[in-house]
Structure 1
Amino acid sequence: MQASIKIKAKQTADIIANCEVGEEAEKIIRPEMPPAETIGLLSDNCCFYDAVKILAHGLPKREAVWWACLATRQAHTPETNEDNINALTAAETWVQKPTEEHRLEAFDRANMTKFETPASWAATAAYWSAGSIAPQGQPDVAPPEFLYAHAVAGCIALAAVAKDEQDPDAYYKQFIAQGMDLAAGGRGNI
């Protein structure tokens, strides 16, 4: 397992305090383990979604949203509609330049996709990463600290299933490898 310089948590307990894991994962996880080891152990035991959740919560916001973008881009097909392409582009734009304008554009594009696709959730993750989630003109309401990670994890799961609805495991493994490359300071290329 690669070094995970981008994951600041020293032990898994620091991450699972912010996300729920399944019963099988609970039996496997040792809270004192470094997160990278836990992610590898969960993957080895086919607890892919739990590994994704821990990785999404461990990565910094921009890297996590970029991870969602990478998975979404791979899930797109020639039949992907314009709304989903635009939602993904908005999320990628926010990662490259995380301005308030780009964050709000990502949310507008997510709304157009009705929150049903990987692109929807990549764009939502960008929106939930900063700023206020209150309607414009209302007092500011900061998103909960790890709300973006929930959107990222959902995006990764939807992307894996979009690639192979019957057996998404190979795509989960591929996406986890990309996320671990980002955690190691890479660009998510594998």
Structure 2
Amino acid sequence: MTDLVKVQATTAQELLQDIEISEEGQPHLVLDTAPEISILRLMEAACYGDAVKLLARGLPKREAVWWACLCTRDIETPETDENNRKALMAAENWVKKPSEERRLICKQMGEATKFKTPASWAATAASWCHGSMAGPDEPVVEAPEHLYAHAVAGSVSLAAVMHDPVNPEQPFERYLQQGLNLARGGNGKAG
């Protein structure tokens, strides 16, 4: 039994079809049980990047992008440049009311920030949740169903490392608790 009510997958195996887990993380997976078991085991083993990937793939798209936004907002400073502020705001706005117009703004901001920051990846994650990845005059190219989770995982992991480049364990733990709170139906701010 699991209390991750937002995670629709019944086993970790279902989520692993679209993500790769490190060699260090592999022994901690329990494929035929609820994803929560594997996520918690990965956290206990300090395989934080793997736990982030698994949780990002398990969360619904809006919750996953919101998680990326929360982690990105945590590392924002007065020195954060305008494009990254706009990218984060675009992703937050998309979460509040997903629309094609807002998705396109996220796509534009992800490109403007060159896919190098947590804000850039949060905006990119939103832009990969629906709609075409191609330009406006090109044939429609739908994003693969799981692609948003890769951008979310990149955003969350990058935020943790940027928060504390020497010892990212504490931010990883806190961010994973936020993600688990979202998976339990919370707002992600607890933990």
Q: What range is the shorter-chain TM-score in?
A: over 0.9
2:4 aligned partner: 4
Q: Say which SS state the counterpart of residue 23 (structure 1) adopts.
A: coil
- The aligned counterpart of 1:178 is 178
CA distance in 2, matches of 1:2, 1:88: 31
- Over the matched positions of the two proteins, sequence identity in percent amounts to 48
Contact 1:121 1:154 survives alignment (8 Å)? yes
* Correspondence list, 1:85-96, <5 A: 85-96=85-96
> Any gaps of 5 or more consecutive residues in structure 1?
none
What is the one-letter code of the residue matched to 1:165?
Answer: P
Superposition pairs of residues 112-131 of structure 1, within 5 angstroms: 112-131=112-131
Residues 10-21 of structure 1 mapped to structure 2, 5 A cutoff: 10-21=10-21
On the 8 A contact 2:18/2:146 being kept in 1, the answer is yes
In the other structure, the counterpart of 1:38 is 38
Cα distance in 2 for residues equivalent to 1:97 and 1:23: 39
> Which amino acid is 1:7 matched to?
V
Alignment of 1:37-186 (within 5 A): 37-186=37-186
TM-score when normalising by structure 2: 0.97
Mapped contact 1:90–1:105 kept (Cα < 8 A): yes
Q: TM-score, normalised by structure 1?
A: 0.98
The Cα of 1:2 is off from its aligned counterpart by 7.0
The gaps in structure 2 that reach 5 residues or longer are none
Query: Contact 1:2 / 1:180 at 8 angstroms: preserved in 2?
Result: no
Runs of 4+, deviation exceeding 6 Å: none
Deviates more, 1:54-63 or 1:22-31: 22-31
